[in-house]
Amino acid sequence: MSAFHSRRGPLPVSRHQYCFPPGALFCGPVLQPPAGPAGFPSPPPRLNRLWFVQNLIDDYKPQDLRKYGNLDKIPVNLQEVGTGYRSWFGVINWLSLGIFFAAIAFIYAKSSMMLISANELASNLSQRYEQLYAVLHGLETDLWIVIIAMSVFLAWGARRFLKQTSVYLLDFVVLDPDLEYMIDRDFFMQRSRDSGFFTDQALDFQEKILRRSGLGDHTYFPPGIVISPMDLSMQSARDEFLYVAGKCCDELFQKTGVDPSKIDLIVVNCSLFNPTPSLSAMIINRYKMRDNIRNYNLSGMGCSAGVISLDLAKDLLQVHGASNCLVISTENITQNWYHGNQRNLLLSNCLFRMGCAAVLLTNKPQYASRAKYELLHTVRVHHGASDESLEAVYQIEDPDNLIGVRLSKDLINVVSKTLRSNLTTLGPLILPISEQLKFFINLVQTKYLGFKNIPRYTPDFRKAVQHFCIHAGGRAVIDGLEQNLQLTPDDVLPSRATLNRVGNTSSSSIWYELSFIEYSARIKKGDRIWQIAFGSGMKCNSAIWKALRPIHDRSRDGFWALTGGDGLADDALEALARVHKHLAKIDSRKKPAGKAVN
């Protein structure tokens, strides 16, 4: 038995501690699994709240969500509520704004004094100096012109200082790999057997996980794993990144018509593969970008890194005017394919697949008419100040010297608190007044008046958001948020379809979900889209978009047509059938009426 050290002292690593790669099923309902099925030991008592064990190994029971996974037990932090309201004014330069208003007040005061003095002087001298009276009367007219002009300037200045620079999403692309990298469950199991890494017990375990994972038979693995023999070298990992990022960026530049030389900022996030030179430097070299480009490379952020990259890009575009920003979100699979026999580490092999997304953001007003979306809000919550949160997901070496991520027994509590904090901060930004009033009335009743029999009110976010992009980390992640946010099967279909079609692609999954929503032809002008993801640390991040026009992207019809099969539950299949019926109705309207053929 080995050990690693934390601020709480040495923590043992035993076979009872469950290790998973970053981003694997970070959140979901608080489920308490029953005893394992035949052939599988029950989880140890100190880990009996690990909902993902129950969801992935045991038979799935949706009714259990009504008993567990509720956020009602978590107290509301009023400081987080205030943070949501204060974020409306977070980008104001208060010093500049104060100087501006002080200057306006001084000019108004001086103008009023001059006007009063002019009237008094003209009145006293009017009888003896008619000519001087005419001059001063003209001065009075000029002063009114000055006051009106300054009022217009005041209105412009207030708008200039109070309004953020708009950030537009010109377009985005998700990876559609070549068919040679597509794998099904049979291929996955055959590749695992041929590798010689796994025992029969480990192979049986992976097969059971696959049947309950929610993944379909059309996911993708990187070239280094698909080929035989496998190549898990660093060069193969670099080749994977250049393939996925290059394929996405090539299509993005072609769709938008923006030349790579016009990119001013680039942000790349990849949690587990961080070579030197950086991944962003590899993109700059591939497209021969300008030497004054500003590049940023984010690592170790887990599945929430996609929203973190958006937040960083938004802040950069507030500072750098008339700029284009390229955001690339991906995760590297080649060097993170576990080839041992520890069951707790084998889950990553079954869930994670190759994926990538490239996003082009801009603050140039001339692109507003071409853009798809406007970024309204980003909310980031990080509970890393707590030892409990920091150590909830911790990367260590297992007894066989293989690196994995230890998930603590406090993970569920940590994730629930982080989710509650994010919702509490996000609510004031997007919820209608009616929902905010219901929330505050319920808060006063339960927190200050002592009404213990009244359940805590969870606002209806469907009144503020029309489309949801929930990180497809696993079935339990989607089920948990569906239950806690009171969503419908249609609301969570993009997440289930993404998990079925491409698996868990980490930080890029929220973009696959938005791609599916565009494919379903249900985005109308003014609709709001909510992207939410979780990551180690512990953090929960959200992004809110506003659609600037109706969107129906037909470029991915063939890609999403492969969604389905036994990887989807009945309610998801019914929701998918409604999407296909809706698309068929649209296509029938577009076909010209023709003559009947006998």
On the question of a cis peptide bond just before residue 277, with omega within 30 degrees of 0, the verdict is yes
3-state secondary structure 254-316: HHHCCCHHHCCEEEEECCCCCCCCCHHHHHHHHHCCCCCCEEEEECCCHHHHHHHHHHHHHHH
598 is catalytic: no
- How far is the CA of 137 from the CAs of 111, 132, 143, 144, in angstroms? 14, 9, 10, 11
Handedness of CA 430, 435, 440, 445 (dihedral sign): negative
**335, 234 Cβ separation under 8 angstroms:** yes
Handedness of CA 497, 501, 504, 506 (dihedral sign): negative
Angle, helix 305-319 to helix 509-519, in steps of 10 degrees: 80
Determine which one of 270, 467, 484, 500 is catalytic: 467
Rounded to an integer, what distance in angstroms lies between the CA atom of residue 354 and that of residue 220? 6
Rounded to an integer, what distance in angstroms lies between the CA atom of residue 361 and that of residue 168? 6
Query: Residues 301-315, buried b or exposed e (16+ Cβ, 10 A)?
Result: bbbbbbbbbbbbbbe
CA-based nearest residue to 245, from 174, 192, 152? 174
467 is catalytic: yes
On the question of a cis peptide bond just before residue 538, with omega within 30 degrees of 0, the verdict is yes
Rounded to an integer, what distance in angstroms lies between the CA atom of residue 353 and that of residue 332? 9
Strands of 18-67 (E only): list them: none
Task: Enter the tokens of residue 294.
Answer: 């500003």
Query: At residue 182, what is the residue type?
Result: M
Angle, helix 411-430 to helix 433-443, in steps of 10 degrees: 130
Rounded to an integer, what distance in angstroms lies between the CA atom of residue 70 and that of residue 48? 17
Task: Enter the tokens of residue 351.
Answer: 């869930």
**285, 352 Cβ separation under 8 angstroms:** no
Determine which one of 218, 377, 383, 471 is catalytic: 471
Determine which one of 274, 320, 339, 382 is catalytic: 382
**335, 232 Cβ separation under 8 angstroms:** yes
Pairing of strands 265-269, 294-298: parallel
Rounded to an integer, what distance in angstroms lies between the CA atom of residue 287 and that of residue 318? 25
Task: Enter the tokens of residue 60.
Answer: 């799935």
How many Å is the Cα radius of gyration of the chain? Answer: 29
504 is catalytic: yes
471 is catalytic: yes
DSSP string, 463-500: GT-SEEEE--S-HHHHHHHHHHTT--HHHHHHHHHHHH
Angle, helix 489-502 to helix 570-590, in steps of 10 degrees: 90
User: 427: which residues sit within 8 A by CB, 6+ positions away?
Assistant: 81, 84, 435, 436, 439, 459, 461
What residues pair up with 359 in beta bridges, in sequence order? Answer: 172, 327
Dihedral angle over CA of 203, 206, 208, 213, nearest 10 = -160
Give the active site residues: 303, 382, 467, 471, 504
